[in-house]
Amino acid sequence: MDLGLMNEGGGEFIRFKPSANSWIVDGEEHDLKGFILDPSSLKTGWGLIQAGEAPDWQWDQNLGVKGQKPEGEYKRGFSVDVFVKDVGWREWSANGVGVLKGFQGLWSDLQGGIKDNPEKCVQVIYEKSVSETIGRGQTRIPMFKIGSWVESPKMAEETTQKSQPVAENIF
């Protein structure tokens, strides 16, 4: 009998892992082709992300306007809600430079569409990642293409519930 103890609360997330050049969904590698992004859910702020610990975020009061940096090793970052086919809604947050560069490019590309499509979500296609040297290290920058603007997939009471978006999912 399954006791329902695994993958409950706090383990539901999506991340791009530059060191492995892979997407991680709920702690498992995932062959991600794309997702639906809710632009209205975007938050920016200072984040402390450490292995084995829940991320600690200090959100900006206004989107993109830097709040005061907390003491410690906090870095600028973001959080946004995305809908992954056959998985559901997940939080995508990051504060690593490669992912930030990729997301900043995506966000810049979305600006016209956000104004023309208020209260809608956008289908985002993950194309590839490109390697880049930053300082003394290497990172990978995820590259995206914008798909269609769609109605928001229904928010499930539980993110583990499999639900389908209103518009046909291209993924």
Q: Does 142 fall in a domain?
A: yes
- How many structural domains is the chain composed of? 1
With beta carbons less than 8 A apart as the criterion, state whether 125 and 113 touch.
no
For residue 27, the enclosing domain spans 13-48+75-150
Long-range contacts of 19-26 (CB under 8 A, 24+ apart): 21/129, 21/140, 23/126, 25/84, 25/87, 25/90, 26/87, 26/90
Q: Does 42 fall in a domain?
A: yes
Q: Does 69 fall in a domain?
A: no
Dihedral sign for Cα atoms in the order 132, 21, 130, 91: negative
Predicted pLDDT at 1: 57
pLDDT tens string, the chain, 171 residues long: the values are 556 555 455 579 999 999 999 999 999 999 999 999 999 999 999 999 888 888 899 999 999 899 999 999 999 999 999 999 999 999 999 999 999 999 999 999 999 999 999 999 999 999 999 999 988 889 999 999 999 999 998 754 333 344 444 444 554
Predicted pLDDT at 5: 58
- DSSP 8-state assignment for residue 38: E
- Amino acid 112 reads G
SS3 string, 109-150, reads: HHHHHHHHCCCCEEEEEEEEEEEEEECCEEEEEEEEEEEEEE
Q: Does 166 fall in a domain?
A: no
Predicted pLDDT at 157: 37
Q: Does 167 fall in a domain?
A: no
Q: Does 91 fall in a domain?
A: yes
Q: Does 62 fall in a domain?
A: no
Kind plus residue range of the DSSP H or E element containing 41: strand 34-48
Q: Does 101 fall in a domain?
A: yes
